[in-house]
Amino acid sequence: MATVDLSIFSNPSNHSFQTYDTKATAEQPWVGTKFSVYDSDVEVRSSDGFIFQLHRVVLGVTTGAFPGSELDTGAEVVQLTEPANVLGIIFAFLYPKEHPDLHGEIFQVLSAVAEAAAKYEVFSAVHVCNERLVKFLPEYAPEILAHAVKHDYPRLIRATLPHFARAPFIPVLARLPPSYVVPWARYHEAWRSVFKETVLYIKELPRTAPISSSCHSSMTHRPHHSICPTCVAGLYELIGRIQEIETLPALHEALQSPARYPYTALTCCRHSQRQGSRTICPFVEDVIKLCQDKIKKIPPFATFLGIKV
């Protein structure tokens, strides 16, 4: 028989003086099944005082961590550390009826259920939780990555990591399992190369003659027109600003909606020629388009793991 780790259950005697929120409510998870309160043989108390009347045979066959008939509680109530709203969802996955789909649950509740599902090895709940957690990306990416790494959920790790593409390298690396270190380093370098290659593009743009102070004297513009020192300075400032963006949504928004970002404040020789409203330098538009094209060519993170997508 597999050894059951009872340390995940609290000692009932340690809670003899604990006060509970008597307003805590939940539905007994066996409602709507052939099980009932009359054949319940184990009681579990939530951290806020609600008592679930459960069945050892169900616990024994539908979870990996809850002991079944070998659990001797000595007629005591088993104390758990999760509140009733979390345990009610977890226990609903144990009985033979339609399981919760967790749609509409806020992240705080879902993350607590996901942690409890992993802790008590309720695998049917683990799968649903992981599918729902993905819907909360990228807003809760740090919390989801920590959960995925802690419990070694490869699919959830792969879904979460790309949202850290613009995050500082070392803090993310420190949280990863060893098998992800090299793929993550290569993925991160692919993103770095976007800006390295863009800087090289700027360096290789033909320069205007020394006697010329402007590269926009005519109304026409082509990407490989000669560029003046004023506009070159604006391009380097542009790359510096973009590289400082640490989230993918913010980066995509900056590149796709440049009019909403202060690109008109970048130096451009046209600004000294014209009065009134400032416009985006045509060379800035070229560089933004170049960055967009290079980012589209970065393979998915799964490719760096050797997974076909």
pLDDT at 65: 76
**Stated pTM of the model:** 0.71
Helix, strand, coil percent content, the chain, rounded in steps of 5: 50, 5, 45
Please say if the pLDDT value at position 2 is more than 60: no
Using CA atoms, how far residue 39 sits from 36, 53, 57, 265, in Å, is 6, 9, 11, 74
Band (pLDDT 50/70/90 cuts) for residue 4 is: very low
Q: Are strands 78-79 and 42-45 parallel, antiparallel or unpaired?
A: parallel
- DSSP conformational letter for 227: B
List of domains in the chain = 6-136 (3.30.710.10), 182-296 (no CATH)
83-137 tens-digit pLDDT: 999 999 999 999 999 999 999 999 999 999 999 999 999 999 999 999 999 999 9
Nearest to 199 by CA among 166, 230, 239: 239
Measured distance CA(238)–CA(261) in Å, rounded: 11
Place of tokens 């509680």: 73
Check whether 245 has a pLDDT greater than 50.
yes
Average pLDDT over the chain reads 83
The neighbouring-strand residues paired with 207 are: 227
pLDDT in tens, 162-202: 888 888 889 888 888 888 999 999 999 999 999 999 999 99
